[in-house]
Structure 1
């Protein structure tokens, strides 16, 4: 068996997700791969060569894949031992080229379609992006960080992501399109020691009140109601961190450093 991923040009695909899934698994012989699909494939082949270039005895986890076109859809197939690395490259380059992705072999995996408005694809030096079930991406772009938030799903991985700076500062998000929780850790020196401050983002300053569950990848986390954010708000905070700026004044921070031994 192989791990299969479908990549498509959203300009040719139906907008409705159910219709899109049917379209992805149908025949598209009347259409041809578009220039941006071909550019995506060309870049991916530089990172993940085709099986025609693989050695006769394929090592475990070796990064090679099969490529096949069905009109307006390009299929990538690889071994399950290489699936995490290959899917990471597929998604990173899909964001860069503005093409959609469906990891068909992952049970109930949602289809990701890029936004209509282009986002900045230049690498941001000095950061690392970790998305659950994918490999770490060094120097991620703003577009990739935005897409990673969109990939968060209530029932399917990924359910969390971590954006980390070279000095150890990080911002992490857990949840899905239904709501997320965001935490940040910042390091500093105090009395000659390196110490951290760990905070949870909130929509209000109050640190008491009703609690709710936030779900991600089949798991739930109980938080205060005012600590549940929209994915859009969480994305704004992540981008501010990526740009070296403070997030909007409308975000409040609940200090939980003591709970974590800081």
Structure 2
């Protein structure tokens, strides 16, 4: 009998609040649509080249989640539910979720730190967690990286903020090193002249230039060609040339091929 009375009371309460519940559902649907519109609008506004592309996915996700949370709480209040109860409930759930999802929250905080400190940007090429690739996007909890084989690597943000990463395009210039071995019968001055000629004929449109922003002494960027080691069957030379970081692989292949073409009659493999 008590259950029947309770059910009747709930039924009457539901009927009495029906207009408010319908209004809350209407506001929830309209609000959801408005949030989608805001998302698309902001997405278009921050696509401006002056806005750092690294912050776009993170910023959009954060705004969308906050707006949806506000919308749901507003709809519940309009439906007649007391928010004080939900505040206590959400607080309890927050503590439990914080303990259960400490790793996820750490990824979120790490993502914010990455965007604030900017150890790398979208478009940079990095080496992290044994993987190498170009940063595609920095999300709220993870960072997406595309490798040279076009495979996608997803790395939690906490791994990138707490462990060592190598940003191979962080500086404008990068040192390209090539080692070659020659017989003692190879004339060193003539060889050095030939190597300099090959380097001088690298594509001019992408030729390496000194950049003061790198804050390194000018002589550090100078081309260096010298004898590295002397061995019983020949001597090994080393070539250091500074090339644009963004085109490092291109220059590595180009210089190696041109050296091979120019010096094929003078080179020898180790031990031969």
**Pair in the same fold by TM > 0.5:** no
Choose between structure 1 and 2: higher strand proportion. Answer: 1
Choose between structure 1 and 2: higher helix proportion. Answer: 2
When normalised by structure 2's length, the TM-score is: 0.28
Higher Rg of the two aligned structures: 2
